[in-house]
Amino acid sequence: MTNQSTRKNIGWRGPRLLAERALPQDGEKREGRGARRRRARSVTVNLAESPLGWLHARGHLSDRQFDAGEKLRADWERANLAPSVTMRWDGAPVAGSKRAMPRIMNETEAQIAAKQRFDKAICHLGNDLSDIAWRTICGGERTPVAERKLGWPARSGKLVLKIALDRLAEYYRLPG
């Protein structure tokens, strides 16, 4: 399998084999005697996936933590706190149309209630945890980006986010 020259080339140090031969650089393909030709690479990305969804899908967050984050995000969206255009694009109701069920609250009342829930949840988190929670859950920033913007050490954001999500789960009284 491996010979002495391979061991010398890859820096053999003990019983663990790290690589058998050099691989071409990322995005390049070797052909023939050292010739290089660019090859196209493509990556499929789910643009609808939130940073919270990404962490949950890879097992970094429990279902309870994910649900708590989604509740906060839903309140944030329902309260219409995100930047928006100045015109409403909702269709006007058609005269004579029948609705199956009357609305309990109109849109303004629902928006005010969601804003109150959001504010109480953020207040429950406190100043220390609300920054990372808002940036990741509502702002859609990945944890490394949020860490840099907050001036935190690398890899600390996920830990603090998990603490914030646990506190949110307590606030929303999610079973755990």
Each residue of 102-125: pLDDT tens digit? 556 677 888 899 999 999 999 999
Domain ranges of the chain: 51-82+106-171
User: Given this model, what pLDDT does residue 146 score?
Assistant: 94
CA 84 to chain CA centroid, nearest Å: 21
Mind listing the pLDDT tens digit for each residue in 62-83?
999 999 999 999 999 888 887 6
- Find residue 50's DSSP bridge partners: none
- How many CA atoms within 13 Å lie on the side-chain side of 126? 8
Chain-wide mean pLDDT for the chain? 76
33 DSSP assignment: T
What's this model's pTM, rounded to 2 decimal places?
0.63
